[in-house]
A and B are shown apart, each in its own frame.
Chain A
Amino acid sequence: MNFEPRIVGFLCNWCTYAGADLAGTSRIQYPPNMRPIRVMCSGAVDSVYILRALLEGADGILIGGCHPGDCHYVSGNYKTRRRMVLFSSIMRSLGLDEGRVLLRWISAAEGKKFADTVTEFTEQLRQKGPNPFRNLWEV
């Protein structure tokens, strides 16, 4: 059986979620591998939610936020950006694959970019193969 990655998407209500909507209403095709979760701001995605998805076996995590400077709450995405720097640093220090977590700025007008991002990320994860935590029941 071919491996199909499962991606959990945390999409900001004001930009990326609307971008996903635009991709849909524009009838742009993209792989059905992502399960979207609408959040009010990418800055509201605490690392615990990313880690919980990863440890319970999600193959990839996509966090979508407004472009820097465009945050509906003025500075939420700048904080997301710092938090990603911290998250990646910790993953690297522990020898874990930071490439399973992807942060992208996608605006409400970028339906095409949203579809392309999901397509590319899905393809990358197909190449990587399943998340090793998927079969580690002992975590």
Chain B
Amino acid sequence: MAKSWFIKVQENNPQQTLRNLYAQWLKNEQVSALLVPAVSATGVFAPVLFSDPEKVSNISPLLPVMSVNAASIVAEIAAEPATESRLGVVLRPCEMRAVVELIKLQQIARDNLVLIGIDCPGTYKPGSISPELTASSDKLDEWINEFVSNQEQYLKDEHLRSACRLCEFPTPLIADMTIGFLGLNPRKKLILTVYTENGSRLLDGLEIEPTEDTNPERNKYLDMFVRTRQQQCEQKIADFDRVGIGYQNLVRYFAHCLNCHNCMKVCPICYCRECFFDSDVLKREQDDYVRLSRRKGLNRMPAGTLLFHLTRMNHMMTSCVQCGICEDSCPAEIGLSVLFKKVSRNAQAAFDYLSGRSLDEPLPLTTFREDEFREIGEE
């Protein structure tokens, strides 16, 4: 039941247009608060929980910077259904996919959330943005408006986060409402698409112009974008295969791992309250360590770095959304994005599953059919 509308952009300023839209939703009490990106003059890039329309100038709706996967924040805020408030969460496609997985993992209560998806052609790391830009809100706005308008450069931009350069999902897979700018001239107009009753309530009181939900110009651009990204992704996976696979290569790939577990801590999908690797199950005492050492004669300490990564893959690969925030958090700069892209894509394909595609598809490891995979376990 998707339906689309154009929203006119005032003064060639899409950032400001979305600020006005969000402020209006708050003023009309269509949502009680919004989770949206913001930048401070001191250089903080973060999702903010925004509730006072007077403060709207602080938010940065089209900011192409990713500091965390906001799905982790949604899981922290909305673990239980709210009784009074309605929270609108504005999320990039990978963040929305993670929210969908977390809803299915029963870590997010869907009830009082409005899921608002927004186009994303790629993001930068916070550290790569010059302090001069963040010091002036006008300069920053102009930079962001230029970023969303100059759509030729995304596929060539080597400064985008490495996960983003592998990403073939520039538009959200599901949402109550989506906000689109790709394939349009965002200095003139943006496209709002609603998919649910929840989403259509956000249209009340807006000055909008109905349009076809399949916009040919936009679709043409998106087709080209996705095809090119897929080719680039295949190339990067082929490059990875030359250095990352096989016993020796894999050990080399993870050689500098510090065993800090940051990748697990920032991962939106790693939701366990206590990780198996933080539990006592694998704890050893001195005598056990000596026994371990005798097995090979010598043993790397801390023990079990590769065990951690391989187990983590087995535990979360079917839900991995390839957001790459694990790589950003890695002090040893291990190239996790391309590795996880390859491994998770193959793992999900084995179950004909795609993380974040649908709320109705059951998680691969929580379901089964009697008449599937009959060759497994047989001679």
Offer 19 A-B interface pairs, CB within 8 angstroms, sorted by A. Answer: A46-B311, A47-B310, A47-B311, A84-B377, A86-B314, A86-B365, A89-B347, A90-B313, A90-B314, A93-B346, A95-B241, A96-B246, A105-B377, A136-B296, A137-B299, A137-B300, A138-B300, A139-B305, A139-B307
Contact between chains at A95 and B245 (CB < 8 Å): yes
CB interface residues, A 78-122, toward B, < 8 Å = 78-87, 89-90, 92-96, 103-105
| A9 close to B (CB within 8 Å) | no
Contact between chains at A82 and B368 (CB < 8 Å): yes
Most buried by B among A57, A75, A89: A89
Contact between chains at B306 and A55 (CB < 8 Å): yes
Q: How large is the interface on B (under 10, 10 to 19, 20 to 34, 35 or more residues)?
A: 35 or more
Smallest CB separation, B289 vs chain A (Å): 12
Smallest CB separation, B337 vs chain A (Å): 14
Known: A47-B311, A48-B311. A89 touches B295 (CB 8 A): no
| A35 close to B (CB within 8 Å) | no
8 shortest A-B CB distances, which residue pairs? A95-B245, A47-B314, A78-B368, A95-B246, A139-B306, A48-B311, A93-B343, A132-B247
Where chain B touches its partner, the secondary structure class is: helix
Contact between chains at A57 and B295 (CB < 8 Å): yes
Known: A51-B314, A94-B250, A132-B247. A81 touches B377 (CB 8 A): yes
Smallest CB separation, B233 vs chain A (Å): 14
B364-379 contact mask (Cβ, 8 Å, vs A): 1 or 0: 1100111011101111
A45-88 contact mask (Cβ, 8 Å, vs B): 1 or 0: 01110011001110000000100110000010111111111110
| A135 close to B (CB within 8 Å) | yes
Smallest CB separation, B359 vs chain A (Å): 20
Smallest CB separation, B363 vs chain A (Å): 10
Contact between chains at B247 and A136 (CB < 8 Å): yes
| Residue positions of B touching A, CB distance < 8 A | 241, 244-251, 255, 276, 282, 292, 295-300, 304-307, 310-311, 313-315, 317-318, 342-343, 346-347, 350-351, 364-365, 368-370, 372-374, 376-379
Contact between chains at B296 and A57 (CB < 8 Å): yes
Smallest CB separation, B371 vs chain A (Å): 9
| A133 close to B (CB within 8 Å) | yes
